[in-house]
Amino acid sequence: MEKRSFLLLTLVALFLFGATDADAQRRTSKTRSSTAQKAVAKTFNPATDPPFLNADQAWVDSVFSTLTPEERIAQLIMIPVYSNKDQAHIDSVSKLVTKYKVGGLIFFQGGPVRQAHMTNRYQRESKVPLMVSIDGEWGLAMRLDSTIKFPYQMALGGIEDEQLIYEMGAEIARQCRRLGIHVNFAPVVDVNNNANNPVIGFRSFGEDKYNVTRKAMAYMRGMQDEKVLANAKHFPGHGDTNVDSHYGLPVIHFSKLRLDSVELYPFRQLMKNGLGSLMVAHMNIPALDNTDSLASTLSKPIVTDLLKKEMGYKGLVFTDALNMDGVAKFYPPGIVDVKALLAGNDMLLNTMDVKTTIEEIKKAIANGEITQEEVDARARKVLAAKQWLGLDKYKPIETENLIEDLNNPHAKYLNQQLVEASLTLLRNKQSILPIQNIDTLKVAALAIGTKQETDFQRGLARYTKVDTFFLQPTASLAELMALKEKLQEYNLIVAGMHKLNLKAGGSNFGITAEMNLFLKDLIRSKPTIVGVFGNVYSLAEMESLEKADAVIAAYQETPQTQDLTAQMIFGGIGAKGKLPVTINNAFKIDDGLRTNGGLRFAYTMPEAVGLKTQDFEGIDSLVAQAMEQKATPGAQVLVAKDGKVIYHKAYGFHTYDNEQPVQVTDLYDLASVTKISTSLAAFMKLSGEGRFDVDRTLGEYLPIVEGSNKENLKYRDILTHQAGLKSWIPFWKETVKKNGKFKWATFKADSSRRFPIKVADNLYIHRRYCNKIYKAIVKSPLNEKPGYVYSDLSFILAPLVVQNITGEKFETYLKENIYQPIGATSLTFNPYKYYRPEQIVPTEYEPHFRKQLLHGTVHDEGAAMLGGVSGHAGLFGNSNDVAKLMQLYLQDGKYAGETYISGNTVSEFSKCQFCDQGNYRALGFDRPAKPGAQNSNAAPSAPAESFGHSGFTGTYTWIDPVNNLVYVFLSNRVNPTRENPRLSQLNTRTNVLQVVYDAIEKSKLAQRTNP
């Protein structure tokens, strides 16, 4: 009674003193604000309450006081927007924003920059800042192009490290904030215990409520810690239905006890930990509300009584989209919205008729179905959320660098970590994975379900030679039989299941009878590894899959899942994931075997070794500079650290005609890098076996030099280039007559029994001419003065030495004992025999001797005259395979768990031998030149312990055991002519390596500054 009298006196006083309604409202609001803030301060619990309950009520009150009753209703409305639609759509949304003052937007398909421009326009036009939302369960890529696609939640359910999921939530939130988004409708907390669920399925974390809760909690906390409102969906649980609520109304016949025990459990736990918002599903649940055909979204017993009263939820309650058939086919737009509001929802999502919705809600207020105070309370709740989200200090979205920011290196590396942690190894008979002894295997990479080369096949090919095959879903019986015949010669099949349907349904995920028949027969008859790139429930549709030698569930088909699955198969990374659902009796929840990584290269990013991608950007500019100044038409650059390839890129074109882009798989002429990749590789291996000794003489290993001035030359002096050998001999000049034509007994344009050895296109040398070359070396004088003179001659003789020791041909010895076992299968002489021309980068147009563009045959004249096989030049390869060999050296002769060069031989060979005499070379290897020397053969920061070699054609490789680093730079700077010194003048090769050292130093400095 006293309160009523006080209010009456207040109103009379306001009337007598001429106060306006607005004045009264402001004063009352001010009082209410002060009271509300005190109340919040007393009651807000940051550990359990939605974070916006601690919002600045002064701002809430100030905004609320400016709103008409209709505008307060409008604050509860969120309308759909598309950034891939036409101007008419854009303008129609603008009209709803300006005329009706809607409270928020939900963006659907489109692109980030377009969405940013639209958001800026609408925010500028809006009376109250708009709450912008998106369905981004696996990140912005769920709706937007040009953005990062994080793993589906089912894949995340297989990850044991929830910190990664927290980091993902935080990163998705940062991307949302960058794009002006405030609410992400994630995570899905539905417990998916129905394999035939057509609407949740892969969107769920799995079938175990505890696992679902842990993953959802991490995701939620990550987002809300970065000031984006998380949204748990779909209340009270959409995981056990076989009807898609987009197209119909699922009916859930469970008891309340069951719902409380399973479906509601994750919601309840998230609510106890500060869940900001949730979404109510469109489902009919008789145990909670037995009204016929009434969706839970429209049910007051479910939304108000259960959710808000019984469960005590204080956060924002969103409807699911009100244009979905689960509700829309029962009620027209406007009517369905008011029913949702009456049920207790705070935000009406996807209101399709704003005008009618506002009118119908005003009618409901007039009819006493809901009070203005209830509407006002929800409007204030929305405003409080907006204040917490920072909309009281709204700033337009900056579109410059938007795409780059959304695709930042941290996010890319995090995505890689998530995928890697999710991959689930379900079978591994006799520990077939990771694959060992690859030189004993003939591998077929079979893509089932597609006819296009896959990322999986390309990933496998980085480790060893694989042949690719394809099986289309509707292959005929004849095609199946032909394919089976082709696979007979292989002793390992790696099959990928591709293009599978994502959702459960009547199509068996797209697995046809033909695919099943072939896979079943394959598993029965051959060692078979199967990678399944699709919905994990599809495993149940593959016959005899459990009998395969290895089975990997990758959960979805992306370039990254395929790449990392290939890495797991060969031991670049390990297997860690656990199955989050039961598929059948063979594949059950929590199944998942572990393997170790680090066996071979992993292919990743600088962030994997504590470096930053942006610190490698200088590499691009240095190579671009070289190409712009015509130092080289293209290049490959590879950097590996700690056994991980952290940078691998191809630049430019094969030649200056800009027709054939360089690929990372293309082969380059390695020139003098051949020395450390062939002769030295063989010598070190033989030395480790006690069959070669650098302190013995050339004469002891090669009878043809006995009695010559080279008989007593020690290999320690030979390999450090101080044995007195001439630098080189122009052998080809001895074949040319004074008129410029070749002598009759040297070359012919066509091959024959006497002239079988190809030197270049349409040029064949006499079968015994090599003997003349060897004799010329043996007879050549030694240098008059002692000391260092870089020489090719001993390396030309090296194949004879190796063959004399081993009884094997030089190339055969190298391939069988080193290259093939480590998977460096592109390292080869005479690549024209094995590769298509477009896979080989040309070198020089050579006008004097061969008078043609050299393409697939060696650039060095002497090596060419030896049939392309020599120990000083002639080897071709790509940067990836050169790096494998250098990694073998870095690891002192060990690779993939095997020892190929024993006895710490590489460590001994790579040491400086005669530094005290001013010769800074190791045995066969270059080392950093004298400290302080200009234009050194090494990067300025390369430590004294590092070693490597360069090649005349523009190649370079460097090994740094101090920083656990391998570097490879391949180019064809001699194209179109060797008379081009710009690559050396620019110091491109060593400057690129210096970028890596600078990145390492920045990382160390950062660690010291921020320990």
**Tell me: the pLDDT tens digits for 289-337?**
999 999 999 999 999 999 999 999 999 999 999 999 889 889 999 999 9
Residues ≥6 apart with Cβ < 8 Å to 113: 399, 402, 403
Cβ atoms of 535 and 500 closer than 8 Å: yes
Of all residues in the chain, the percent with pLDDT exceeding 90 is 90
Write the CATH number of the domain with boundaries 44-393.
Answer: 3.20.20.300
Nearest one of 622, 625, 629, 635 to 971, comparing CA atoms = 635
Tens of pLDDT, residue by residue over 945-996, are 999 999 999 999 999 999 999 999 999 999 999 999 999 999 999 999 999 9
Q: What Rg value do the Cα atoms of the chain yield, rounded?
A: 36
Q: How many helices (H) and strands (E) does the chain have?
A: 36, 30
List, as own/partner pairs, every contact residues 255-263 make where C-beta atoms lie below 8 angstroms and the sequence separation is at least 24, other chains included.
Answer: 255/287, 256/287, 256/288, 259/285, 259/287, 259/288, 262/191, 262/193, 262/209, 262/237, 263/190, 263/191, 263/236, 263/237, 263/239
Measured in degrees and rounded to the nearest 5, phi and psi for residue 88 equal: -60, -40
Which DSSP category does 586 fall into? S
Q: Where are the domains of the chain?
A: 44-393, 423-606, 618-727+786-1002
**Lookup: tokens for 367:** 């009819």
Of all residues in the chain, the percent with pLDDT exceeding 70 is 95
Segment holding 92, helix H or strand E: helix 87-100
Q: Which band of pLDDT confidence, cut at 50, 70 and 90, is reported for residue 240?
A: confident
CA separation for the pair 529, 431 (Å, rounded): 12
pTM for the full predicted model: 0.93
Pick the residue with more confidence: 7 or 490? 490
| 3 state SS of 747 | strand
Give the per-residue pLDDT at 9: 37
Sheet order of strands, 602-603 included: 602-603, 644-652, 634-641, 965-971, 955-960, 947-951
Cβ atoms of 795 and 682 closer than 8 Å: no
Give the per-residue pLDDT at 4: 41
pLDDT of 21 higher than 80: no
Give the per-residue pLDDT at 27: 44
Q: Which band of pLDDT confidence, cut at 50, 70 and 90, is reported for residue 903?
A: very high
| ∠ CA 180-556-610, rounded to 5° | 65
Tens of pLDDT, residue by residue over 118-142, are 999 999 999 999 999 999 999 999 9
Least reliable range by pLDDT among 127-141, 188-202, 342-356, 753-767 = 188-202
The CA-atom distances, in angstroms, between 508 and each of 432, 504, 543, 589, 959 are 29, 7, 12, 21, 51
At the fourth CATH level, the homologous superfamily of domain 423-606 is Glycoside hydrolase family 3 C-terminal domain (3.40.50.1700)
Give the per-residue pLDDT at 249: 84
Nearest one of 237, 248, 241, 251 to 328, comparing CA atoms = 248
Write the single-letter amino acid at 461.
A
pLDDT of 11 higher than 60: no
CA separation for the pair 203, 22 (Å, rounded): 49
**Selecting from 2.70.70.10, 3.40.710.10, 3.30.160.40, 3.30.70.260, what CATH number does the domain 618-727+786-1002 have?**
3.40.710.10
Please provide the average confidence, as pLDDT, over all residues in the chain: 94
CATH topology match: 44-393 vs 423-606: no
Cβ atoms of 853 and 977 closer than 8 Å: no
pLDDT of 654 higher than 70: yes
